[in-house]
Structure 1
Amino acid sequence: MATSKRAPANYNAEGDANNLKKAMKGLGTDEETIINILGYRSNAQRQEIKKVYHALFGKELVKDLKSELGGNFEKVIMAMMIPPEEYDAAELKRAMKGIGTNEDVLIEIMCSRSNDEFRAISKAYESKYKNILEKDIKSDTSGDFKRLLVSLATCNRQEDKNVDLQKAETDAKRLHDAGEKMWGTDEAVFNSILVLQSYPQLRAVFDQYSKIAKKDIEDSIKSEMSGDVKAGMLAVVRVVKNKAAFFAKKLHDSMKGAGTDDDDLIRIIVSRSDKDISEIKKEFQKIYGKTLEEFIKGDTSGDYKKILLALIS
């Protein structure tokens, strides 16, 4: 990972651990120090700080932080201190816990992670919850939506960069025949192509589809499908086309209108802060004419605002 202001190469884990301890000592908490350290480190660096803190003081850094903080600020810090695959596993578990399912969270995570990322998530899920993620998905979803998520969970997407234009044209025709040209929609055909083809290959398929159908693949999915499977298929297409724009829209949705969906805002910023937050910020400004920073400043306050701004810096 490239060195950035948020993840300095010359950071000192022991110095950070000592300064965090001081920030939580005595009456009151020095939130500014906590933000200036943890908000400007990569996740890997935070894991190292946790180990050093435990070695120096015989205490768990996460527990000490939790006892000192509160509200959304605490939620962000807790999310930041977990390895990415464990955090995604926890968010998937939370999406399926209790009565009802948060399909939006399932769609967001499962439609946007690479094969390697999802294998790590599945492993972390099994280790933490003593259950197989795919089994929980099967028991919590149904129909074509279940088939889409289970297919994604198999991690069989091709990853080569080569594009076969002849195959792209054939698959585009198959998609057209399975949707626009028939009464009803054969979701299985959409599933088999969208889940298994590489991203470069799918982009070629979408180009060919536009020529054949005289409309964008997204428009066809919107008119041909409904419910969760429509949302899932659209997410796959949007991630393939432009993953940064997909997350920019998700962030905007979390902050538009009255109130803020803090769970979505926190999850996306924390999970993308080490990956593609710079690209997301560029797409956000391109699409909405305002910076992500401006939206966060207008929609959040206090230490919660400061830690989010640190993570996207």
Structure 2
Amino acid sequence: MALPQEVEALSKSFSGFGVDEKSIITVLGKWKPEERKSFRKESPFLFTQDDRLFEKWNADHIALLKREFSRFKNAVVLWTMHPWERDARMTKEALIKENRSYDIIIEIACTRSSEELLGARKAYHSLFDHSIEEDVASHIHGSNRNLFVALVSAYRYEGSKVNDEIAKSEAKMLCNAIKNANKKNPVEDEEVVRILATRSKSHLKAVYKNYKELCGKTLDEDLEDGSSLKEAVQCLCSPQAYFSKVLNAALKSGADEKTKVALSRIVVTRADSDMKEIKEKYLKDNGVSLSQKVNETTHGNYKEFMLNLIERGK
């Protein structure tokens, strides 16, 4: 019969992000048939009793484990890719997979530099014989289409010069557009799209600051939760806050797969850029360090790889 502590260790190895390969090898490698049978009987969340009197794996958990075993491999593949190819492939996947994740497209379009986004567009041409712009336009329909096409087409000024009068004027434009949202969806307003898709990030931060002074709330506070406009504003004006929010959701107990995959994506894509700032924001927002949270919720080689990348940006 399997020892209770071994059953507990193995059950834990099969739970969370990744799997604890060392525990699996240590425990399963020495178990005899009767011990494996004992484990199956004592683990109803993993196994169900078949009508033909044998314990069978829960099909949903098999699918989950396949994902968890592959999580480390997928993260390593993303890490070794050229950043242009990585962004191009993530954009393509976001457009074609069953549970589409258009927020990833906003993330890429709004948090990369102009040169990085241009590189992703070049890689997309090479890989898929289409442009990002045409695929975004053909897959995304309705009121969000113009915003998405404009964002992925952007080539922003990267300097620090800002015209304060224009920033105040455009803050007022945004304020009026959002106040009249009951008459016209702000994402359908050409001026709103123009401001978010063409202005430099320094300029947009000035617009953001002026908006609060004019309207009493921040721009993203006035936008609807989950809207593409709100995601774009957060990614453009406060990317560390955006990444902290997405990481927190990914690391929560019970997060679905669409939410969980953000951990690999954000750690891999930000490890060489602003991970230090993201960690500082995460600690401030959640009262626990990102490394500690990852250490508590992930397992095995995947955990070691994630922690290694997170700690690069000290």
When the two structures are superposed, what TM-score results if normalisation uses the length of structure 2? 0.71
Query: Which range is displaced more, 208-217 or 256-265?
Result: 256-265
| Aligned-pair identity (%) | 29
- AA at the equivalent of 1:189: E
How far is the alpha carbon of 1:98 from its aligned partner?
4.4
- AA at the equivalent of 1:249: K
Q: Which runs of 4+ in 1 moved over 6 A?
A: none
Q: Where does residue 82 of structure 1 map in the other structure?
A: 81
Q: Where does residue 263 of structure 1 map in the other structure?
A: 261
1:43-62 correspondence runs (5 A): none
Q: Where does residue 13 of structure 2 map in the other structure?
A: none
Q: Where does residue 281 of structure 2 map in the other structure?
A: 283
**CA shift in 2, pair 1:80/1:100, >3 Å:** closer
What SS does the aligned partner of 2:179 have? coil
User: What is the CA–CA distance in structure 1 between the aligned matches of 2:237 and 2:103, rounded to whole Å?
Assistant: 19
Q: Where does residue 164 of structure 1 map in the other structure?
A: 163
How far is the alpha carbon of 1:308 from its aligned partner?
0.5
**CA shift in 2, pair 1:106/1:310, >3 Å:** same
Which of the two has higher C-alpha Rg? 2
Q: Where does residue 206 of structure 1 map in the other structure?
A: 208
User: What is the CA–CA distance in structure 2 between the aligned matches of 1:181 and 1:196, rounded to whole Å?
Assistant: 23
How far is the alpha carbon of 1:129 from its aligned partner?
1.4
User: What is the CA–CA distance in structure 1 between the aligned matches of 2:80 and 2:185, rounded to whole Å?
Assistant: 44
Q: Where does residue 61 of structure 1 map in the other structure?
A: none
1:1-313 correspondence runs (5 A): 71-99=70-98, 101-181=100-180, 183-187=183-187, 188-222=190-224, 230=227, 232-259=228-255, 261-313=259-311
What SS does the aligned partner of 2:238 have? helix
User: What is the CA–CA distance in structure 1 between the aligned matches of 2:232 and 2:211, rounded to whole Å?
Assistant: 16
Question: Is contact 2:107–2:232 with CA below 8 Å preserved after alignment?
Answer: no
**CA shift in 2, pair 1:239/1:186, >3 Å:** closer
- AA at the equivalent of 2:282: F
- AA at the equivalent of 2:112: R
Question: Is contact 1:270–1:311 with CA below 8 Å preserved after alignment?
Answer: yes
Number of residue pairs aligned between Structure 1 and Structure 2: 240
How far is the alpha carbon of 1:99 from its aligned partner?
4.3
Provide structure 2 residue ranges, at least 5 long, that are not aligned to the other structure. Answer: 1-24, 26-68
Question: Is contact 1:172–1:209 with CA below 8 Å preserved after alignment?
Answer: yes
Question: Is contact 1:95–1:106 with CA below 8 Å preserved after alignment?
Answer: yes
User: What is the CA–CA distance in structure 1 between the aligned matches of 2:186 and 2:244, rounded to whole Å?
Assistant: 31
Question: Is contact 1:168–1:205 with CA below 8 Å preserved after alignment?
Answer: yes
Provide structure 1 residue ranges, at least 5 long, that are not aligned to the other structure. Answer: 1-27, 29-69
How far is the alpha carbon of 1:130 from its aligned partner?
1.7
Question: Is contact 2:110–2:151 with CA below 8 Å preserved after alignment?
Answer: yes
Query: Which range is displaced more, 212-221 or 295-304?
Result: 212-221
